[in-house]
Amino acid sequence: GESVGLHLPTLSVQEGDNSIINCAYSNSASDYFIWYKQESGKGPQFIIDIRSNMDKRQGQRVTVLLNKTVKHLSLQIAATQPGDSAVYFCAETKGAQKLVFGQGTRLTINP
Amino acid sequence: KAGVTQTPRYLIKTRGQQVTLSCSPISGHRSVSWYQQTPGQGLQFLFEYFSETQRNKGNFPGRFSGRQFSNSRSEMNVSTLELGDSALYLCASQLAGVETQYFGPGTRLLVL
């Protein structure tokens, strides 16, 4: 079926440490993946994306890794800051059609 | 460039009523998608409009409908509201042919 799931619903990290948020997807035909960050009371905010012909993409303090063999996506956040506290969603799509979202991982930063 | 805007931000309705939510996409974006977000079901796709035509539809009952105007602004309507319709309704816009969707702040609907 179509579903994008996340391995952990919550993740707590120390400020300054690196965070890794994981996501498993089920549709092997998906060709585009996005990570969104949603802070309380706000809509999802685009973080980074990756196409299926890539296995890694880097942004500012964030890296997305795609493993098509095991249908796994991860978001790495370097030097996690208090402002990174949010719920992170992965989403998949094929051919610019609708996005299918995972359930989200709540990232908490400990001082 | 202004982001996606949604009005109203908050709504309280009673069962059986209907509601209309509005979304203004980013300038130049002709595709508008609507999502329902609840704690139990997460983010679920409602429908997508492009050039005033519904291009994609999710698995929601016919009480949920939408439309898009010639200026790309979109509205969604929910008739005969049920308690389970309480949710955050999110609108997202995207450029034609580009996968990335940009979200508005959402409309939080509470049905009593």
Residue of B nearest to A30 (CA): B99
Whether residue A1 is predicted with pLDDT greater than 50 in this model: the reply is no
B61: preceding bond cis by omega (within 30 degrees): no
Which residue, among B112, B84, B105, B81, has the nearest Cα to B22 in the 3D structure? B105
β-strand pairing of B107-111 with B10-13: parallel
When mean pLDDT is compared across A16-25, A45-54, A78-87, B95-104, the lowest value belongs to: B95-104
Contact B99 A46 (CB under 8 A): no
pLDDT at A41: 86
Contact A36 B106 (CB under 8 A): no
Chain B contacts of A3, Cβ < 8 Å? none
pLDDT at A8: 53
Contact between A107 and A15 under an 8 Å Cβ cutoff? The reply is no
Percent over 70 (pLDDT), chain B: 99
Contact A49 B43 (CB under 8 A): no
Chain B contacts of A30, Cβ < 8 Å? none
pLDDT band at B50 (very low <50, low <70, confident <90, very high): very high
Helix (H, G, I), strand (E, B) or coil at A40: coil
Nearest CB to B45; choose among A42, A49, A99: A99
Chain A contacts of B106, Cβ < 8 Å? 42-43
Q: Report how far residue A68's alpha carbon sits from residue A83's, in angstroms, rounded to the nearest whole number.
A: 31
Contact B58 A98 (CB under 8 A): yes
Contact A89 B43 (CB under 8 A): yes
Q: Report how far residue B74's alpha carbon sits from residue B93's, in angstroms, rounded to the nearest whole number.
A: 10
pLDDT at B41: 81
Where is B77: in which H helix or E strand? Answer: strand B74-78
Q: Name B109's bridge partners.
A: B11, B87
Whether residue A5 is predicted with pLDDT greater than 60 in this model: the reply is no
Nearest CB to B98; choose among A45, A96, A97: A96
pLDDT at A38: 95
Contact A34 B56 (CB under 8 A): no
- Looking at every residue in chain B, the average pLDDT score rounds to 95
B4 or A28: which leads in pLDDT: B4
Shortest distance between the Cα of A50 and any Cα of chain B, in A, equals 10
Shortest distance between the Cα of A84 and any Cα of chain B, in A, equals 18
pLDDT band at A6 (very low <50, low <70, confident <90, very high): very low
pLDDT at A98: 82
Where is B83: in which H helix or E strand? Answer: none
What mean pLDDT do residues B96-107 have?
91
Whether residue A7 is predicted with pLDDT greater than 90 in this model: the reply is no
Shortest distance between the Cα of A111 and any Cα of chain B, in A, equals 27
pLDDT in tens, A39-94: 998 999 999 999 999 999 999 999 999 999 999 999 999 999 999 999 999 999 88
Whether residue B90 is predicted with pLDDT greater than 60 in this model: the reply is yes
